[in-house]
Amino acid sequence: MTHHISLPDDRVAILGALDLERTPAGVRPRRLPAWTRPRMNDGMLDLVVSQAAGVRLRLRTAARSLALGVHVTVLEMDGSPLPASFDLAVDGTVLGRVPATAGDVLSFAADLTDTRLSPGHPETVRFDDLPGGEKEVEIWLPHGATVELRTLDSDAPLLAPTPPPGVPWTHYGSSISHGLEAPAPTLTWPAIAALTTGAALTNLGFGGNAMLDPEVARAIRDTPADLITLKVGINIVGDASMRERTFVPTVHGFLDTIREGHPDTPIVLVSPTSFAELETTAGPVAFDPETGRKRALGSAGAGALTLTSVRTLLATVVDIREDPALHYLDGRELLGPDEARSLPDGLHPTRPRTCGWANEPLGCS
């Protein structure tokens, strides 16, 4: 017997989304609250907020087969489609992966110009041969795609899901946290951490757009969390969007707003990982088509930020605040210069040509 529901439905928790935008056929998860949308004056910010990094459906069922009805908008960069798949995990273990194949395609040139939308069609994502018995199931949505959720069919009833067993964790960051280069949604580093620990992840990693927007601080303030991590600096230096004069008070203001809702919650302020181009040279950066890498152009004048100066400033902010629940972590402890030199662009991992990302057994879509 097939059990059919239209989404959203109380028997299916949609985790990692702070807004569910209603559509004629269903809902579209977004990673910032609805009230922020009119304030976004940048199309790329609106796009990355709509992409479903860390968003997943959580349900409890004895079903052996699930079929999710969706309409996906995937990205194509300079003629190369970005990975877009749905991953299924049972009790925290990833057991299935199905690529999105029929949706709209939003195309960009390498310099993010020449945007084109090629319309596609809704599709059904099927997962069969699930383990028997009642189980907690999570379906992770494509991390670099916009997804309209429509229906869910199962061959057994859906029960009210239990919350993830680990702590509620909100993470804010840039493209490395968004993870567009990862080949699947459960292979971004925040997803790996969440699946390993059982944490209830809210991933506010916005590729190219971690600019300490006050709207994001308010969203973090209002989102339940027992742990907050903030990776700050690389986009600000890379776009030369601030100088020392504005950066330091903006960091303080961001933290002040979060503390209004989380007075005692542990916060880890993480500085940028290694990126040779910007270590001692200020931004902005420009894409060099000959090398396929980003090149620092170097801002003139006092107070121009480099990654080196940002690390010093962030450590000083933490010292000044004398907040026992606020901690500083140098990003180079996570990704140091020797590791960064091995990356294709010196900053981001890239999609592998073979199915060997993080010893992943399911293959790459």
Q: Band of the pLDDT at 124, cuts 50, 70, 90?
A: very high
pTM: 0.91
- Residue whose C-alpha is closest to residue 252's, from 316, 306, 192, 303: 316
Question: Has residue 341 got a pLDDT over 80?
Answer: no
pLDDT tier at 38, thresholds 50, 70, 90: very high
Q: Please tell me the distance from the alpha carbon of residue 7 to that of residue 309, in angstroms, as a whole number.
A: 48
State the amino acid at position 204 in one-letter form. L
Interatomic CA distance for residues 91 and 162, integer angstroms: 11
Model pLDDT for residues 159-173, shown as the tens digit of each residue: 988 989 999 999 999
pLDDT tens, residue by residue, 228-287? 999 999 999 999 999 999 999 999 999 999 999 999 999 999 999 998 889 999 888 777
Confidence at residue 202, expressed as pLDDT on a 0 to 100 scale: 98
* pLDDT the model gives residue 235: 95
224 burial level (CB within 10 Å; 0-12, 13-18, 19+): exposed
